[in-house]
Amino acid sequence: MRWRAGETDSRTDTTFLLFSGCVYGNECDVVASKCEQSSVLLKELRSSMMSEGSSFMKGLILGGIFCLVMSFFETFNSGTHSEGHEHLHHHLKPVSKDELQKLSESQMSDWTLQVRVYCLIMVTPKLLVHWATANDTWSKHCDKSVFYTSESSKALEAIDLQEQDEWARLRKAIKHAYENAGDLRWFFVARPTTYAIIENLKYLVLDKDPSQPFYIGHTEKSGELDYVEYDSGIVLSYEAMRRLIEIFKDEDRCPERGHALWKTPEEKQLATCLKYTGVFAENGEDAQGKGLFNKKSVSSLISDSMGQNPADVVEACCSDMAITFGGMSPSQIQVLMYGVYRLRPYGHDFHDSLTFLPPNDSDND
């Protein structure tokens, strides 16, 4: 059994530390002495496990008690932290229709300019089919879309970051995007397996000031950390990007390459770094509270709804103003393009206050 030193900032990590090291009482002696970060408690454990036969059971029991003690301390600590941060579990909704109707002409054109989006699409040659699909479809609706790849491909153009580590690659892409943003103020980070309706993203952030920090998507919780799920797309305002660039310089709080032998997913690393700058994840939803960011495909969501809400399948399923879906094949995406940008029932009009024109170089929308 290898003794793994690592971060102990979560309950599961701590327990794993103890169990992985001390399954066999005999080995524990040898392994423990090799551990760089042994603590007093651990030394006590080792000595108590010297006795034969019952060493395993003792290890289990002591590990369990240690685990409970650690979690008690954690809750106690985070209890004192959360008082000042009501920002957690924030729900972000689009501007109301009433507010939109009150807009003046000049405000409308201001907002149309302000709400332009820079899309960062993080690709790898392994995902070539999805890369090509994104290239042919939704990425054309971004005001600027840049593909960032781990290594170049002859088939498609991208900025080659020459970086295999996903977190390091994301950092580089963010830096590049920030430096090349021009006057674009909203940023959307996605993998090519995600499909995005950029117009609905603009609708969500329409009345939000990008010189304020925003970090939006489908939020999940990991222990005390709220983070935006990568698979359903990440939205960042210009200010959030600026703070991110700053904290990237801090190798202690936001390291480029972690010390851990197991890797924390980039989505959580991003959330942690942003948290240090005072930026917190917000869940994007519509006026009815339905999530706008999905990592599942439309057909998958419909199937789920048929099971859960057979009397009201479509109403209960997904938002009319949904922004992202995931895991869809290229053919399904062709149908989605047709469904979003073309197919409609005649005579039902939405007099939307803003107009977004179709892109110049496509025929499927």
Partner 1 sequence: SLVNCLLQTVMLNFLEGSCLSGLMIHKEQVNLSITNNHGLSLVGEDGTLADTLYKHVRILCWVMTGPNNLEKKARHVKATWSRHCNIVVFISSVDDPDFPTVGLNTKEGRDQLYWKTIRAFHYVMDKHGDEADWFLKADDDTYVIVDNLRWILASHSPEDPVYFGRRFKPYVKQGYMSGGAGYVLSKEALRRFVEGFRTKVCTHTSSVEDLALGQCMEKVGVVAGDSRDTLQRETFHPFVPESHLTGTVSKTFWYWNYCYYPIVQGPQCCSDLAVSFHYVDPSHMYLLEYYTYHLRAFGYKYRYQPPEPNVIQDFNAPDKVETGDIEEKLGVDQQEGEKKSPELNEKL
Question: By the criterion CB under 8 A, which residues form the site for partner 1?
Answer: 97, 197, 199-200, 202-203, 298-299, 302-303, 305-306, 311, 313-314, 317-318, 320-322, 331-332, 334-336, 338-358, 363-365
**Whole-angstrom distance, CA of residue 311 vs CA of residue 313:** 6
Q: Which is nearer to partner 1, 174 or 298 (CB)?
A: 298
Q: Is 359 helix (H, G, I), strand (E, B) or coil?
A: coil
Asked if residue 248 lies in contact with residue 175, where contact means CB atoms within 8 angstroms, the answer is yes
Length of the chain as a residue count: 365
Determine the straight-line distance between the first and last CA of the chain, rounded to whole angstroms.
57
Q: Which is nearer to partner 1, 68 or 306 (CB)?
A: 306
Q: Which is nearer to partner 1, 261 or 343 (CB)?
A: 343
Residue 312 C-beta: closest distance to partner 1, Å:
9
Q: Which is nearer to partner 1, 7 or 312 (CB)?
A: 312
Asked if residue 147 lies in contact with residue 158, where contact means CB atoms within 8 angstroms, the answer is yes
Structure token digits, residue 59: 């290890």
Residue 29 C-beta: closest distance to partner 1, Å:
60
The Cβ of residue 246 has, within 10 Å, a number of other Cβ atoms equal to: 13
Q: Which is nearer to partner 1, 168 or 302 (CB)?
A: 302
Q: What angle do CA 100, 102, 104 make, to 5 degrees?
A: 100
Nearest to 339 by CA among 205, 142, 195: 195
Residue 358 C-beta: closest distance to partner 1, Å:
5
Residue 136 C-beta: closest distance to partner 1, Å:
11
Residue 228 C-beta: closest distance to partner 1, Å:
21
Residue 63 C-beta: closest distance to partner 1, Å:
48
Question: What region does 227 belong to: left with phi over 0, alpha with psi -120 to 50, or beta?
Answer: beta
Q: Which is nearer to partner 1, 23 or 95 (CB)?
A: 95
Asked if residue 359 lies in contact with residue 337, where contact means CB atoms within 8 angstroms, the answer is no
Q: Which is nearer to partner 1, 10 or 334 (CB)?
A: 334
Residue 144 C-beta: closest distance to partner 1, Å:
18
**Residue 146 pairs with which residues in a beta bridge?**
120
Distances (CA, A) of 21 to 17, 45, 68, 335: 6, 11, 18, 53
Q: What is the DSSP letter of 357?
A: P
